[in-house]
């Protein structure tokens, strides 16, 4: 790749490193699309639960069931979020250990 006018070699190296990083992110997203789906699933459950809770208004005997249902939706979203964080930490540790072995 010819050096463009006014650019130092470090700037060119930085650009190639940026391209490499973008390539790694693209490969990760193509390989682990299911991770994005699980994150979206958790967020959708939480948002639906929150929306139902706001829509139900103040707690009254008539709206108690709707508040309980919204609480279940939000709990599912929160639990999935915690599970994703734990899986992410374990995954990062395994990848780090594997990279140190090589």
Give the helix, strand, coil percentages of the chain, each rounded to 5. 85, 0, 15
Domain ranges, ordered by start, for the chain = 1-31, 32-101
Confidence class of residue 18 from pLDDT cuts 50, 70 and 90?
low
Q: Are 28 and 17 in contact (CB under 8 A)?
A: no
Residue 6 zone, left/alpha/beta (φ > 0; ψ -120 to 50; rest) = left
* Angle ∠(78,80,81) on CA atoms, nearest 5: 60
Average pLDDT estimate for 68-74: 95
Q: Are 41 and 73 in contact (CB under 8 A)?
A: no
Can you give the pLDDT at residue 14? 60
């Amino acid at each position: 790749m010819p050096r463009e006018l006014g650019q130092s070699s470090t700037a060119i190296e930085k650009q190639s490193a940026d391209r490499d990083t973008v390539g790694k992110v693209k490969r990760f997203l193509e390989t682990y699309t299911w991770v994005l789906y699980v994150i979206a699933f958790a967020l959708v459950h939480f948002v639906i639960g929150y929306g139902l809770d706001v829509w139900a208004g103040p707690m009254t005997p008539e709206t108690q069931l709707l508040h309980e249902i919204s609480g279940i939706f939000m709990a599912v979203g929160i639990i999935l979020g915690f599970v994703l964080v734990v899986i992410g930490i374990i995954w990062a540790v395994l990848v780090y250990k594997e990279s140190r072995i090589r």
